[in-house]
């Protein structure tokens, strides 16, 4: 009887803490496609890499919004959504390295790489450079996108697959005895916890004994606000989850000069909050009662339009502190998006092994923390000259959308909907 195996993808196990790095924190190599303005001796390599990475930007953005629309359609409006589209794209791209036939075509079509737009080699090289670029600028931010493979002790994948994952995706591998389920779960969870600074714990609940491989992708980001909030101004305030539900939040306050845009035609107020380094948080606040309408039309084109329309203005900003964790099973969503064969008996992963393999589970967990802190919050003082005009008031006291973007390439690293800041 032919032996079949299954493998699990733990896509985008990500921890995101928007606070000050602790003294002595040192991140490992960083995979992702932040391009930083301060180049070292590898400047030429970085510029070439940026050009290659830009090939991923448009398809990854479209994939990000397709994911969002599938997720929001399945969840109540009161539920938070948060995920790393780049992390999920990276995990699925890694999977496509070993896929063939229709299995590969479906993966590439869903990711937006199909129809001759990109070859597997171009995608692999783009991620290699993206990962390289993210290793820059560790002084002002911490960002790590990494990949790994947990392999069954008796499972030997094709040498080329292992070497390609290591070369292009920085994927390390380690052996696990899946017949001892509790030990296997503990080993993988310990690996993930270590890589995400203990932000993601106990992601894996159980694993089947016939699992051949677990593909792991993790993202960790810790950024410091360029202009931190003063903790003394944080007060209790109401947040209206929906018409009938109100929760109490710690509301941070800051008056300053921000890049903002009021899109009256599309019922949104947009603000950009920069971190030190090359990242920013874009917050989109729909007008009251307009969240569903905004979710229906939002796309990467709107993000680009808002980004390009920003102007500097005085703003009274009220932003809730929050610490949310969102866990998602992506199997059904990915099938809806056209990735079907990978989960069935017709799956073709001959580039991974001669053993028949299929994907049994794709899970995702994201953690987002937002607070007042900055790396030099205690020591840094900034003085801003305010024009003699009334500031715009932006009070985030109802559900809003959040995007963490890389400013040079306008790539969406993380995105979601904050419907209830108090939901853990």
| Cα–Cα distance, 269 to 252 (Å, whole number) | 18
Shared domain check, 155 and 139: yes
Nearest to 129 by CA among 163, 170, 88: 170
Bridge partner list, 322:
370
| Cα–Cα distance, 59 to 126 (Å, whole number) | 13
pLDDT at 406 (0 to 100): 73
| Cα–Cα distance, 164 to 153 (Å, whole number) | 20
Q: Which residues, 6 or more positions from 130, have their beta carbon under 8 angstroms from its beta carbon?
A: 31, 32, 33, 49, 53, 56
Shared domain check, 163 and 274: no
Residue 179's domain comprises 4-223+323-369
| Cα–Cα distance, 399 to 242 (Å, whole number) | 8
Nearest to 143 by CA among 12, 29, 274: 29
What burial class does residue 119 get, using C-beta atoms within 10 Å of its C-beta: 0-12 exposed, 13-18 middle, 19+ buried? exposed
Tell me which residue has tokens 């779960």: 185
**Residue 326 half-sphere exposure, CB side, CA atoms within 13 Å?**
28
Shared domain check, 310 and 328: no
Whether the Cβ atoms of residue 199 and residue 17 lie closer than 8 Å to each other:
yes
Shared domain check, 78 and 123: yes
* Strand 311-320 relative to strand 392-395, pairing: parallel
Shared domain check, 215 and 116: yes
The residue out of 352, 369, 386 marking a domain boundary is: 369
Domain count, the chain: 2
pTM to 2 decimal places: 0.85
Give the pLDDT of the chain (424 residues) as one tens digit per residue. 344 566 655 554 332 323 333 333 333 333 333 233 233 334 434 566 567 778 888 999 999 999 999 999 999 999 999 888 888 998 899 999 999 999 999 999 999 999 888 999 999 999 998 877 776 666 677 777 788 888 888 888 999 999 999 999 988 899 999 889 899 999 988 988 888 878 788 888 888 888 888 888 887 777 888 888 989 999 999 999 999 999 999 999 999 999 999 999 999 999 999 988 888 899 999 999 999 999 999 999 999 899 899 999 999 999 998 888 888 888 899 999 999 999 888 999 999 988 888 888 888 888 788 887 632 222 223 344 444 557 889 999 999 999 988 766 567 888 999 999 999 7
| Cα–Cα distance, 32 to 347 (Å, whole number) | 28
Shared domain check, 331 and 298: no
Tokens matching residue 261: 């845009």
pLDDT at 65 (0 to 100): 96
The answer to whether residue 423 sits within a structural domain is no
Whether the Cβ atoms of residue 37 and residue 278 lie closer than 8 Å to each other:
yes
φ and ψ at residue 254, rounded to 5 degrees: -155, 135
Shared domain check, 131 and 52: yes
Nearest to 169 by CA among 207, 202, 218: 218
Taking the CA atoms of residue 24, residue 28, residue 34 and residue 37 in that order, the dihedral angle to the nearest 10 degrees is: 60
Shared domain check, 22 and 164: yes
pLDDT at 161 (0 to 100): 94
**Could you tell me the CATH number of the domain that includes residue 301?**
2.30.39.10
Shared domain check, 187 and 166: yes
């Amino acid at each position: 009887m032919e032996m079949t195996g299954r493998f699990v993808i733990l896509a985008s196990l990500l921890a995101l803490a928007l606070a000050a790095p602790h003294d002595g924190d040192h991140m490992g190599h960083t995979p992702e496609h932040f391009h930083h303005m301060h180049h070292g001796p590898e400047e030429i390599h970085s510029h070439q890499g940026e050009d290659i990475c830009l090939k991923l930007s448009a398809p990854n953005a479209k994939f990000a919004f397709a994911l969002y629309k599938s997720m929001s359609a399945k969840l109540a409006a009161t539920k938070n959504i948060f995920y790393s589209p780049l992390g999920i794209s990276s995990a699925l791209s890694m999977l496509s390295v070993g896929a063939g036939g229709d299995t590969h075509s479906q993966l590439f079509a869903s990711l937006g790489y199909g129809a001759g737009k990109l070859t597997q080699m171009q995608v692999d090289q783009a991620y290699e450079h993206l990962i390289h670029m993210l290793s820059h600028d560790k002084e002002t931010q911490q960002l790590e996108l990494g990949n790994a493979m947990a392999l069954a002790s008796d499972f030997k994948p094709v040498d080329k697959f292992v070497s390609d994952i290591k070369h292009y995706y920085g994927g390390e591998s380690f052996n696990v005895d899946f017949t001892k389920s509790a030990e296997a779960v503990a080993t993988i969870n310990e690996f993930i916890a270590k890589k995400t600074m203990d932000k993601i714990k106990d992601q894996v609940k159980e694993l089947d004994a016939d699992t051949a491989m677990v593909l792991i992708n993790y993202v960790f980001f810790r950024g410091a606000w360029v202009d931190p909030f003063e903790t003394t101004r944080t007060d209790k305030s109401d947040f209206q989850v929906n018409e009938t539900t109100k929760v109490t939040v710690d509301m941070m306050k800051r008056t300053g000069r921000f890049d903002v845009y009021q899109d009256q035609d599309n019922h949104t107020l947009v603000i950009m909050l920069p971190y030190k380094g090359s990242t920013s948080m874009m917050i989109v606040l729909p007008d009251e009662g307009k969240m569903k309408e905004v979710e229906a039309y939002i796309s990467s084109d709107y993000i680009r339009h808002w980004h390009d329309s920003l102007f500097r203005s005085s703003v009274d900003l009220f932003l809730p502190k929050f610490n949310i964790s969102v866990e998602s099973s992506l199997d059904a969503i990915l099938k809806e998006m056209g990735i079907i064969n990978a989960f069935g008996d017709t799956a073709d992963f001959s580039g991974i092994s001669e053993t028949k393999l299929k994907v049994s589970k794709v899970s995702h967990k994201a953690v987002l923390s937002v607070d007042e802190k900055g790396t030099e919050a205690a020591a840094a003082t900034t003085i801003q000259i305010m024009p003699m005009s009334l500031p715009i008031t932006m009070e985030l006291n109802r559900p809003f959308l959040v995007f963490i973007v890389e400013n040079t390439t306008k790539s969406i690293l993380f995105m979601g909907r904050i419907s209830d800041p108090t939901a853990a």
